[in-house]
Amino acid sequence: MAQPAAARKPVILVLGDSLSAEYGLKRGEGWVPLLEKRLAQQKVDATVVNASISGDTSSGGRARFAALLAQHKPSHVVLELGANDALRGLPLTDTEANLLQITQSAQAAGAKVLIVGIQVPPNYGGDYTRRFEAVFAKVASTTKSALVPFLLKGVADAPNAMSLFQADRIHPTAAAQPQLLDNVWPELRKLLAAK
């Protein structure tokens, strides 16, 4: 017989792209491995599954998600997808529909969801930039999910921002990863504490 969710050890599934998959970093330097360390330091007994793939889009995540749900049975899902949709110029309606489907599937399986937003550079144009940013808030509001508005807050908008990015100017350096974790942690901690 399955244990009730409250009695089970939390399983945090991170479904993301290169920003969560340690692109260009040594293993263990990314914000997701740092999350594992923080959970241990805070005496939170939880398993972290990093199912992030560099280059993944929201549709790629949606296609993979049912199998991940079945395999890992997460209690919490951190959804960090959408940046590659913008880089490829995919329709915002598709991104929104994919994030909505992933979130609703997770919730139907009993998982709490934390949506992690991203912003695109201003060279995409003001209208697109605003509409893209709004997608994450809209999905969070529609599904009553937790939201981190901007994963790269304190990095992309820091006075020394260029020094916090790898040579491609897209992926944060190892030095920036603790800030990414600090952006995610307050909302995730609340979800972990909620019964």
pLDDT (tens digit per residue) in 24-50 = 999 999 999 999 999 999 999 999 999
Which residue numbers are catalytic? 18, 168, 171
Per-residue confidence (pLDDT) for residue 7, from 0 to 100: 63
User: Which 3 state secondary structure label does DSSP give 56?
Assistant: coil
Per-residue confidence (pLDDT) for residue 10, from 0 to 100: 97
Amino acid at 8: R
What does the pLDDT average to over 2-11? Answer: 68
Per-residue confidence (pLDDT) for residue 161, from 0 to 100: 95
pTM of the model: 0.95
Q: Percentages helix, strand, coil for the chain, rounded to the nearest 5?
A: 50, 15, 40
pLDDT (tens digit per residue) in 59-69 = 999 999 999 99
Output the CA torsion sign for 70, 65, 191, 110.
Answer: negative
**Does the pLDDT value for residue 1 go beyond 80?**
no
Lowest model confidence (mean pLDDT) among 1-10, 15-24, 139-148: 1-10
Q: Which residue, among 54, 9, 14, has the nearest Cα to 31 in the 3D structure?
A: 14
pLDDT (tens digit per residue) in 126-175 = 898 899 999 999 999 999 999 999 999 999 999 999 999 999 999 999 99
Q: Which residue, among 19, 56, 5, has the nearest Cα to 177 in the 3D structure?
A: 19
pLDDT > 70: percent of the chain:
96
| Selection from 4-8, 33-37, 84-88 with the highest mean pLDDT | 33-37
Alpha helices in the chain (DSSP H): 31-41, 58-72, 83-87, 92-108, 126-143, 177-193
